[in-house]
């Protein structure tokens, strides 16, 4: 097989929040969570990786159970400053108010004619109904959620997606919005 054909792009991996779906709140729920937790001096990159690992890699019965893991991870008192209710409200509002970007569906429909489409999202287990709400299964060949993978979109997460889909890193590209939680992991896994 000629080298050109061997490395042909076969799949497009999409992030969810901020890429095909508006968060519903601004700034993003993750950025607001950092403030509510009072972690003003922590660099955002360090925060987002730890936060998403604590909040988005296990299945929880409700959002407050997931938030308990966050409070534990950062050694933050949940009772101060009404943090539990503020974070619960924030994440629920983000889910309820989220909406597709105007060109999302037409873009996905066009791309699906030529590529496998993969959705990969760091998402709390209590918010996965958003995949059904927007009928993403109609547009994506595969949907991977961090809590189901047991890891966020780190190098390990991308490697799991490649293995499950039978793709090589050179056969996929990543469409994303965040340097911290999308770009670095894809690049480390060899995905453009």
5 pLDDT above the threshold of 60: no
Are 119 and 142 within 8 A, CB to CB? yes
Query: How many whole angstroms separate alpha carbon 38 and alpha carbon 32?
Result: 10
How would you classify residue 24: left for phi > 0, otherwise alpha for psi between -120 and 50, otherwise beta? left
CA 15 to chain centre: 6
- Distance of alpha carbon 123 from alpha carbon 144, whole angstroms: 10
pLDDT tens readout for residues 148-181: 999 988 878 899 999 999 999 999 999 877 665 5
If pLDDT is split at 50, 70 and 90, which confidence band does 23 have?
A: confident
The structure tokens 């159970």 sit at 65
Q: Which of helix, strand or coil describes residue 158?
A: helix
pLDDT at 1 over 80: no
Q: What does the alpha-carbon distance between residue 63 and residue 126 come to, in Å, rounded to a whole number?
A: 6
Q: How many degrees, rounded to 5, is the angle at CA 147 between CA 98 and CA 138?
A: 55
Q: Encode pLDDT of 41-71 as tens digits.
A: 999 989 999 999 999 999 999 999 999 999 9
Q: Does the pTM of the predicted model rise above 0.85?
A: yes
Query: Tokens at residue 127, please?
Result: 């918010």
Q: What whole-number distance in Å separates Cα of residue 18 and Cα of residue 11?
A: 20
Angle (CA) 93-120-85 rounded to 5° is 25
């Amino acid at each position: 097989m000629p080298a050109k054909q061997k490395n042909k792009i076969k799949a497009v991996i999409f992030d969810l929040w901020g890429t095909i779906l508006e968060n519903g709140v601004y700034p993003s729920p993750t950025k607001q969570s950092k403030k509510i937790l009072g972690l003003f001096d922590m660099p955002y990159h360090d925060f987002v990786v730890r936060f998403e690992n604590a909040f988005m890699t296990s299945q929880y019965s409700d959002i407050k159970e997931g938030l308990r893991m966050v409070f534990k991870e950062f050694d933050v008192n949940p009772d101060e400053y009404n943090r539990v209710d503020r974070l619960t409200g924030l994440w629920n509002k983000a889910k309820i108010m989220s909406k597709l970007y105007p060109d999302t569906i037409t873009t996905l429909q066009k791309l699906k004619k030529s590529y496998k489409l993969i959705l990969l999202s760091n998402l709390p287990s209590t918010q996965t109904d958003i995949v059904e709400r927007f009928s993403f299964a109609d547009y994506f060949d595969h949907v991977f959620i961090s809590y189901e993978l047991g890891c966020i979109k780190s190098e390990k997460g991308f490697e799991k997606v490649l293995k499950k889909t039978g793709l090589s890193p050179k056969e996929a590209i990543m469409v994303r919005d965040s340097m911290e939680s999308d770009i670095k992991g894809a690049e480390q896994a060899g995905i453009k």
